[in-house]
Structure 1
Amino acid sequence: MSTPILWVLGGLFVVWVALTIAFQFRRLQAPIRIRDPLFMLPSWSFFAPVPNTSDFMFFVRYDYAGVMTPWQGPHLPSHRSVSFLWDPGRRQRKIVVDLSQSIAESTKGDDAMSLIHFSTCYLQLLKVASNQPEALFATGVQVAIAVRPSGAQDYELFFESHVHKLDTGLLTPAIRGDQE
């Protein structure tokens, strides 16, 4: 490479490092973020200022032609004795917890609670619920998120969805004997 290109690249790198360092200070984040539409500047938080003070649990229940099952957690891969070495199910478990936590954090006000059904996090949790083995013959699915403050024994219901109708696709008109 030619020398002028190296100088330009080096200069861009120095500017990026300087902005990254400045971006770590809270009072500078808003003015810098306006000029960073591509989110090229990382924000590191080695010591979280607000530690996680509660646990979130995702529950699901199914409607079998008007009969609702009890609330239960989704079937996710469980921990095994070799999980500390290789744990392919960890990502699935973490996604469900993170989605539940995102919904809880993003619904601080009443207005946000009414829009929760349109959020990507909610739709992903609904997808997890409708892809469970129990959903195969169910006619509907309902999801809920519960919160357990640290030190508490029981979960408190935070959010409960409406019952969403499921189209299982198993009973097509030809199988049911309907005329098309």
Structure 2
Amino acid sequence: MIEMSRISMATIRRMALYGVLGTWFVASAVKQEPTRRSKLSERIDPHGVFLPDWRFFAPQPGTYDNHLLFRDELADGEVTEWKEVLVAGERTLRHAFWHPNRRGEKIVFDTMNEIIKITQEPSLEKEDIQVSVAYLTLLNFITHSQRHAPGARRTQFLVARSSGRDVDEEPVMLFLSNRHPIA
């Protein structure tokens, strides 16, 4: 009879532990809801000690995608279709440990964000933007790392924004460069 109560108490303790951990998991998952409509988690844990916030350094996570596109002007003046530059390639498990190309991807990503920021300054003219480090970096990247159409004389790049997977919303053009000779 004594042995039976020990098994019963061990089972009760285990179930209590499962209940606490399960509640903690559900409360943590609810806290990750992107719009943060529920304020219950802030009332329960106002300082975020027990319920993690997995947004890390992005209190307002990105809700759109930026795209870099380019097109070429041929010798006869005809312009090719826009081609998107796929900056980030397919990821594999190896990239979690070793990804030396990530720096190049990040440079292009950060440079596009810098161009967007610069264009929102009302005091700057397009000529001023063209001598910025961000503009020259993107121009160099487009002219030297992309495959251009045969016979292309000049190239032009475009920074656009889309809402990601939401196909109902049209992409928005944020910045259009001048046409530049291909070296």
TM range (shorter): 0.5 to 0.7
- Answer yes or no: is 1:119 the counterpart of 2:132: yes
- Answer yes or no: is 1:156 the counterpart of 2:156: no
Distance 1:107 1:48 in 2: 23
Give ranges in structure 2 of 5+ residues lacking alignment. Answer: 1-55
1:58 is matched with which residue? 68
Distance 1:88 1:60, change over 3 A: same
- Answer yes or no: is 1:101 the counterpart of 2:113: yes
Distance 2:58 2:91 in 1: 30
Which is greater in Rg?
2
- Whether contact under 8 Å (2:87, 2:108) holds in the other structure is no
Residue 103 of structure 2 aligns to a residue whose secondary structure is helix
Q: Deviations over 1:66-103 (max 9, x none)?
A: 22111112254622433233222222222111111111
Distance 2:100 2:150 in 1: 24
Distance 1:51 1:141, change over 3 A: same
Distance 1:91 1:137, change over 3 A: farther
Distance 1:136 1:119 in 2: 29
- Whether contact under 8 Å (2:73, 2:154) holds in the other structure is yes
Distance 1:123 1:158, change over 3 A: same
Distance 1:136 1:93, change over 3 A: farther
CA RMSD, Structure 1 to Structure 2 (Å): 2.6
- Whether contact under 8 Å (1:100, 1:121) holds in the other structure is yes
Q: TM-score, normalization: structure 2?
A: 0.56
Give ranges in structure 1 of 5+ residues lacking alignment. Answer: 1-45, 168-180
Which residue of 111, 122, 138 maps to 1:110?
Answer: 122
Distance 1:150 1:59 in 2: 16
- Answer yes or no: is 1:133 the counterpart of 2:147: yes
Is 57-66 or 131-140 further displaced after alignment? Answer: 131-140
Instruction: State the 1:152 CA deviation.
Output: 4.2
